[in-house]
Amino acid sequence: MTVIESTADPVAMTEEQKFLFDLKGWVLLPGVLEEGLLQQLREHVLALRNTPESLAEYERYSVAGPAQELVDHPAITGVLRDILAPDQGDDAWGFRCESSFAHVRKLGEAGSPPHCGPLDGAMAYRMINGRIWSGLTRVVWELNEVKKGGGTPILSGSHKASFPVPERFRAFDPSVYEEYECPPGSVLIFSESCWHVGTEWKDASQDRLAIFNCYCSYLAQWHKMNLPAEVVAAMPPKRQTAFRAVWGHDFHNKQHNDFYDEDNLAL
């Protein structure tokens, strides 16, 4: 089993990105993946779809094989620190990855119809003491170019709308859902509290190849991931902490939740 390390340091979120994330509920970081990794990711996503038996069982996941590098890729960890939770000491992330899937979207195929995640409760988007809290955050890695209208357009600002979203905008309307375009290897980070939609793919020259990861803080959970421990065992120690169980402090053992082991694997 080869453990794959990321080498670069996290890229800190800029003030401009914080402003845009709070305003719109999303940011797009164009072309952040290196070509070598990008090619391996495309092959992995295609193998997951077409020939899963060619992969070892513990690699048949969109957080496994080369895709494990995306879990804490330096392009996103600086952002997740600012919109979810800071690191817990030197060796543990403050965020957890708690859902992941890959898509090969072909001409004429669409993803999810318009919907949004939590609008109230622990995971609803809010600002607390000048910090963004994007309780449930989706990170979409676009492995091929996305042209306007493809991808996952977002109803910008709907993560903190004061009025209910009118019925008319609960269907895709390009005049209000903000579309994006980006080169291969870009990443879209958005609050699941925004309305968003997986539009019909209209690019005949290539499929949409994308990996969708979802993050919470180490203190909250929305999705039940059911990830086998063998998948996490193939990761370096700090990356493993992105799959730890959800709790803050254990008084009995005088232990803060800043570690991963097989007994501390999320549900």
For ligand AKG, give the closer residue by CB, 77 or 193.
193
For ligand AKG, give the closer residue by CB, 210 or 242.
210
Q: Which two tokens stand for residue 28?
A: 């797009």
Residues 193-232, one symbol each (x = binds ligand AKG by CB under 6 A, - = not), give ---x-x-------------x--------------------
**Least gap, CB of 202 to ligand AKG (angstroms):** 13
Q: What is the DSSP letter of 162?
A: S
| CA distance linking residue 256 with residue 241, whole number of Å | 13
Q: Are 242 and 137 in contact (CB under 8 A)?
A: no
Q: Which two tokens stand for residue 201?
A: 């793919």
| CA distance linking residue 198 with residue 181, whole number of Å | 14
**Least gap, CB of 139 to ligand AKG (angstroms):** 9
Residues 158-197, one symbol each (x = binds ligand AKG by CB under 6 A, - = not), give --------------------------------------x-
**Least gap, CB of 248 to ligand AKG (angstroms):** 27
- The set of residues, in sequence order, having a beta carbon less than 8 Å from that of 20 and lying 6+ positions away, is 26, 27
For ligand AKG, give the closer residue by CB, 73 or 105.
105
**CB-side exposure of 32: number of CA atoms within 13 Å?**
21
Size of the site for ligand AKG (CB under 6 A): 7
**Least gap, CB of 124 to ligand AKG (angstroms):** 16
Buried residues in 26-39 as b, exposed as e (16+ CB within 10 A)? bbbbeebbeeebbe
Residue 18, class by beta-carbon neighbours within 10 Å (0-12 exposed, 13-18 middle, 19+ buried)?
middle
**Least gap, CB of 73 to ligand AKG (angstroms):** 18
Among 24, 44, 138, 159, binds ligand AKG (CB under 6 A): 138
Among 111, 118, 149, 157, binds ligand AKG (CB under 6 A): 111
| CA distance linking residue 156 with residue 194, whole number of Å | 7
Residues contributing to the site for ligand AKG (CB under 6 A): 111-112, 138, 152, 196, 198, 212
